[in-house]
Structure 1
């Protein structure tokens, strides 16, 4: 039995640790209306009716021709550990909001365990507007209450993975790309998800130490201007600052734009040419990157040059077109922030009855769906959004169903994938797109065809 002291202890713990999140808290990372709707379903005795919700994006962000689905791994982990502790339940009761809720609602939360099915496209798969990234088929109250968390994890990681894939596509396979966005991400948790999605989307490394170690990677980075300024002031020169850093991290890349990038490069070149120093690279973080990189290259012809400072795919494209002498990029702010992926999570079927939303500009398609991808000569020819009950045969090329069963009756049906597997899928998936869709200036929209069966069901449901 949970006592008042237990609840007070929980509240005090939350106050003590601030707004931090642990795995046990994940069930409460939800909007209030998910809980009030669940209580209403219990009162109406509909909570166990089988419901299907699909998570998709109505419109792609401006300037995007595709999205790279990401975040499924964390979504499945959340569903596997979906629980409510006694202290959490009593905390909800003490809010006073649920005074009129049926008492068996609390019994439902106390025994909560996700028991549904999950269909999803594999992480790293390219998707388009109105195509489900994921579908939950579960008792109504369960399928409803998990909405907020699923949208949070899939929307954000899909954004980051897509931006990373676009940056890789523009920069080319030979460029070194590093994720530097931790200090600009929306939260410490967001920073970890951003690092994961960036690596899965095609970047080579992250400066986030925790993310790198958790993902089995080696963290990447150079130094900040503060070290150069501090040691220059204390030890007499910028060259002494560089030498001091190399005493502990021999050959490490150096940040050379604290004072004068070209002058710093000239000084480093003298030491490199004299055999006094090995240098893995130099980083430039400001100024005219095209002009400065060319001047630095004239002094350090064999040293990799890295650039950073508010870079994104459009700026990298501009630098490449202008002939900048840059071998790698550190991408931060514009990778982990920016136009959101506005995914939604909508009911498409309840107790075997197809349903749809008809609001202006927000209409949805009814029924449980499958994405059929048509491939010809290794390239995506087009997609058909159809019903799960439909099947398609190809008269030429290949047709592939994208949504796969990842969880059945609350149990995983597929093994966890490595980061490299997801990264490889992202690369091949993006490479399979026509160049017009991959274009970052004016991307062509991929027309997703609606199957005959889905069109007929939509009309029938609308008329019902």
Structure 2
């Protein structure tokens, strides 16, 4: 971890490098109009990363001559995760990378020949070899935005066969990314903006891709650093890490420390025996009247481990203090080493608590730090960083806030990276228009009824500057304007409607991929820009919409004209029953 203070002191770490992985023997796809857009981060994201039925449908479209029908699909979620009332949209860049580099290789085609039914004609495979996304348009809400159910996150438009083939892959690129980014944002909301949040999820993630993408999207959602070196290198995320319990318990005595010299921080002289200095500091602490009631004898093998670590990292000394006993051994041993470093001009970072009553231990540790600072005049000792870990979740953070604590930073792994409270977001990809004709998917479950036609979406803001409602309108409708009285209707409930006079209107969709048409498209922001955008988006929401517990539902509406059309099409498509 090596945090030097709370959240604001987190240093920038890592560096940006090429992130397109080793694709092995796989052929490089043709440019297909992709310009400078690199391939997806994970080399496994190829046209074959899809469900079998996408290719069987593609053959049926081709066989019927429908492959070039102009189709519009919406990618949306029906319900917010974790019992909340918002979702952070993530994964857009990877979707654009996938579209920009979409192309079947010869090896892909040969494999498909072996798994498709033998009745499939050779002409289909020849056609498939030439398929790319040069005629596809992708409009989307900006990545990192706060979004809400029913509002499409992506609108994908293009030849029916091609945009159908994109479905499974874009869903897998968006579902987990948005879920874990939302989880990270919720942890940030409960922890508070003054706390350092460290993502420790790699060892508990669902495989390497879950670990890499989880680190990336937790950072987007508001975490400050990761323990994952691969993610740090690929994405430029700051990395943190110190030592485990194994390091502490691997030491038996001071005899194992061979090189005991440590040069002062200013280089003016060298301490010949830092181990001796540490033991002297511990004895002075034990003899100090103001500290005698805190502890007695400590575990000397633990002290040896701390001393060895400080010799290795005198400018970044941080200790895990719960291997044996937090208050009777871990904290006093840490302070002895920290005092010895202080005498040589160094400043220790702090401690990590990984078990027990985190509230109590943090409060008592802070008291001890301040008592040592007062007793020995060690300036800044009382403000050393206290980091807490140990299977922390949202409820843990909320309980700590209510109990009172002295924790500056949290290391969070399992509950964050696995999205323990909810394993899937449940995005869907639905056809809403074909050759200019709106289509609707009906269901007895009204939450599964789709909103038909190609649409534009707008966010309407109130006079206090907060978002009031997201409004969907038909693509052929005039956009809403600030200061205009607008009737906003619930898409499926006749009585739920309201007039809104927005102080500001924000169009939500921008073009991020326009194929080879030459139409302008939005640049893909950096991860730092996405993270900042997410922060601003959350701040623009009313606090009751984004609070972790018992939030107020956010309103998603359609225009009066679109409402009428939805219900006209619904009645037109639904069969009329007969009673006998």
TM-score, scaled to structure 1 = 0.92
2:543 to 432, 435, 458: 435
Partner of residue 332, structure 1: 413
1:31 to 46, 51, 63: 51
* Pairing of 1:55-204 with structure 2 (within 5 A): 55-95=75-115, 97-115=116-134, 116-204=136-224
Does the CA-based 8 Å contact 2:224-2:238 persist in structure 1? Answer: no
CA shift, 1:177, in A, is 0.5
Does the CA-based 8 Å contact 1:372-1:385 persist in structure 2? Answer: yes
1:446 to 554, 560, 576: 554
SS at match of 1:189: helix
Q: Are 1:239 and 2:259 matched, yes or no? A: no
C-alpha distance in 2 between matches for 1:216 and 1:165: 19
CA shift, 1:10, in A, is 7.8
* Pairing of 1:40-439 with structure 2 (within 5 A): 40-95=60-115, 97-115=116-134, 116-232=136-252, 235=256, 237-250=301-314, 251-262=316-327, 263-274=329-340, 275-276=342-343, 278-300=347-369, 301-337=382-418, 338=420, 339=422, 340-361=424-445, 362-376=448-462, 377-390=464-477, 391-395=479-483, 396-409=502-515, 413-439=521-547
- Deviations 1:31-82 (CA, angstroms, capped at 9, x unpaired): 1111111111001110111111111111112421100111101111111111
Does the CA-based 8 Å contact 1:202-1:427 persist in structure 2? Answer: yes
C-alpha distance in 1 between matches for 2:214 and 2:481: 38
CA shift, 1:268, in A, is 1.7
- Deviations 1:105-141 (CA, angstroms, capped at 9, x unpaired): 2012211211200010111111011111111101111
Q: May I ask how many residue pairs the two structures share in their alignment?
A: 446
CA shift, 1:188, in A, is 0.6
C-alpha distance in 2 between matches for 1:388 and 1:176: 44
CA shift, 1:371, in A, is 2.0
- Deviations 1:377-423 (CA, angstroms, capped at 9, x unpaired): 22112221222222101214101111111111257712221111111
Q: 1:204 to 1:10 in 2, by over 3 A?
A: closer
Name which of structure 1's ranges 385-394 and 126-135 shifts more when overlaid on structure 2: 385-394
CA shift, 1:183, in A, is 1.3
C-alpha distance in 1 between matches for 2:405 and 2:332: 18
Larger helix proportion, structure 1 or 2?
1
CA shift, 1:281, in A, is 2.1
Instruction: Please say which structure displays the higher CA radius of gyration.
Output: 2
SS at match of 2:47: helix
SS at match of 1:405: strand
C-alpha distance in 2 between matches for 1:246 and 1:270: 11
| Unaligned ranges ≥5, structure 1 | 1-8, 12-20
- Deviations 1:136-173 (CA, angstroms, capped at 9, x unpaired): 10111111111111111111111111111111122222
Partner of residue 463, structure 1: 571
Does the CA-based 8 Å contact 1:43-1:101 persist in structure 2? Answer: no
Does the CA-based 8 Å contact 1:42-1:102 persist in structure 2? Answer: no
- Deviations 1:183-204 (CA, angstroms, capped at 9, x unpaired): 1111211211111111111111
SS at match of 1:129: coil
C-alpha distance in 2 between matches for 1:178 and 1:374: 35
TM-score, scaled to structure 2 = 0.74
Does the CA-based 8 Å contact 1:392-1:399 persist in structure 2? Answer: yes
